[in-house]
Structure 1
């Protein structure tokens, strides 16, 4: 256990903050840096799992979590808990129903835009790697195989292709803005259409039903939150709607896709390829079939973790907690 204390716990104005930073996103070292930017009215205890320090959990007024699960049992064990702040866009690792039952706000950093630049860049890195066949080309050359005759039939352009964006929020808009520069046609699916001026700015992006998006897109990029309604949003029947020349990109949450169904489609050749940055679970096990599927480009959930992004994420999460500690309204309430 590592505890970072910004003042004593005896002050009547002090609130106890439990910072849960999972090892695979930096653990104690990242947690210590996060704790250092809190103001004096916060007593911060840094842990790598929510169960690590039962006393700190019991006395916590705020939990700030970087992918560390907060379950119903954790809510029950923290009677003074007021706020759970996710240091991410995602919030699927927090039991929202338990939060509602205990009248605890859960917030993410959605409106901050902290991750949108790099997630959009990573999305295009994956798209370009697939379009230009960079991974098989690199592998062939390292094995002294001049693969040009074999690869030239599968190398494609982004220009003129249709990009289907599932979830045109802060990140989805950044992806669409870049797609305009690549002369791509943009369609998007989601609960509501964006304002006409936003659609015009994004190349006259069209709002369409999800199934139509899947049937017509050359690239499908997922930017939706993971909820009960979006779990396995792309299952076997929906993957079957895609053109055999289409590519799927996922930089959002692994469980948005049925990973076995995706591996089946890639193996059968009914889908051209996939660029995947997120998995279910994380880290993935060696048994994950996607790791051996043909024409995939994989990265270990790095879309939101540049040096610049990590600073923005930390500051956005801490700022929201500080607003709460000062009695001000918090932003990005998801429950």
Structure 2
């Protein structure tokens, strides 16, 4: 009993926490002593004795790492690390891992991307709002409706999720362009995709969809100058991280009709405050970071996190570690 390691599972309720927490607890219970909380600060004693933390988008700060002298491993149930203080983790010798190679969220994020694109192209939200107000005529006279077929989809980032989006774009008869640090010849051939520079992609794409992690290099990647490159008929979709886009510049572009619309599942900060202008700008479809939290994905995420944390507990090298 004394040699069993302690694991703290941090899953906020708004992310399907009860179900996910129960699955993680059950999956790890035969390997470790597991405590499930909704916030990293909820149980300081459990944090202090934890050798591993499994977190679903709940921040792990430098102060929390310092308050966990036994901590050796942090498992993120996401593709990113941006809510973890990686510098503090390195200083304290803590290994951090995510689930980027498991494919747990690929299907759902790709589907959600297309849900946002279709909602924008077909003006689903304004049409519903008008019809609910007994306005039958206006949506039927809407000149802004458009097709996906024949349009160019520009993917900023062409990893696993970006390629799943490309796969769906082929079914909609869209031309695919992408920008990435290196080429993907096999995927290019499979989806008829072509690699281009970011500026060319922004100038030519009818839909621009973001699929890359938040890093110092990608923070505000789409700043005011780059947003200005987009065609006034183009749509921007972001299911990656909110801070990749300059939100004020995006609101300016939408209000001035320099951009046809935006579909956003992510914001900076999260949850957004009432002051966020994008909540009131025209031609937006906004969802509260739900692209990767379907029932099916929550199961896959839990299994992936269990497997990787079990590897750490059993002395095997975990996958998808940072650095």
Matched, 1:231 2:222: no
Structure 2 match to 1:189: 179
Q: For residues 149 and 301 of structure 1, what CA distance do their matches in structure 2 show?
A: 31
**May I ask how many residue pairs the two structures share in their alignment?**
322
Structure 2 match to 1:46: 36
Give how far 1:265 is off.
0.5
Q: For residues 281 and 139 of structure 2, what CA distance do their matches in structure 1 show?
A: 22
Give how far 1:28 is off.
4.8
Q: For residues 216 and 96 of structure 1, what CA distance do their matches in structure 2 show?
A: 36
Give how far 1:148 is off.
4.1
Give how far 1:258 is off.
1.2
Structure 1 match to 2:254: 266
Return closer, same or farther for 1:160/1:42 CA change in 2, 3 Å cut-off. same
Structure 2 match to 1:116: 106
Give how far 1:29 is off.
5.3
Q: Cα deviations across residues 246-285 of structure 1 (Å, max 9, x unaligned)?
A: 0000111111111111111000000000001111122211
Q: For residues 218 and 13 of structure 2, what CA distance do their matches in structure 1 show?
A: 27
Q: For residues 157 and 322 of structure 1, what CA distance do their matches in structure 2 show?
A: 47
1:254 alignment partner, one of 242, 252, 263: 242
Q: For residues 21 and 260 of structure 1, what CA distance do their matches in structure 2 show?
A: 31
Structure 1 match to 2:232: 244
- Tell me the secondary structure at the aligned position of residue 322 of structure 2: coil
Map 1:147-166 onto structure 2 (within 5 A).
147-148=138-139, 150-151=141-142, 153-166=143-156
Alignment root-mean-square deviation, CA: 1.3
Which consecutive segments of 4 or more residues in structure 1 shift more than 6 A? none
- Tell me the secondary structure at the aligned position of residue 147 of structure 1: helix
Quick check: 2:12–2:39 contact (8 Å CA) kept in 1? yes
- Tell me the secondary structure at the aligned position of residue 99 of structure 1: helix
Structure 1 match to 2:66: 76
1:26 alignment partner, one of 16, 22, 26: 16
1:219 alignment partner, one of 203, 207, 210: 207
Q: For residues 200 and 163 of structure 1, what CA distance do their matches in structure 2 show?
A: 16
Give how far 1:11 is off.
3.2
Q: For residues 214 and 186 of structure 2, what CA distance do their matches in structure 1 show?
A: 28
Quick check: 1:28–1:46 contact (8 Å CA) kept in 2? no
Q: For residues 306 and 75 of structure 1, what CA distance do their matches in structure 2 show?
A: 30
Map 1:160-175 onto structure 2 (within 5 A).
160-175=150-165
1:200 alignment partner, one of 175, 189, 197: 189
- Tell me the secondary structure at the aligned position of residue 79 of structure 1: coil
Q: Cα deviations across residues 58-77 of structure 1 (Å, max 9, x unaligned)?
A: 11110100011011112212
Structure 2 match to 1:333: 321
Matched, 1:89 2:79: yes
Map 1:309-328 onto structure 2 (within 5 A).
309-328=297-316
Structure 2 match to 1:4: none
Q: Cα deviations across residues 173-212 of structure 1 (Å, max 9, x unaligned)?
A: 1000000111111111111111x22210012x11111111
Q: Decide which moves more: 58-67 or 36-45.
A: 36-45
- Tell me the secondary structure at the aligned position of residue 101 of structure 2: helix
Quick check: 2:11–2:56 contact (8 Å CA) kept in 1? yes
Q: For residues 40 and 144 of structure 1, what CA distance do their matches in structure 2 show?
A: 58
Q: TM-score, normalised by structure 1?
A: 0.93
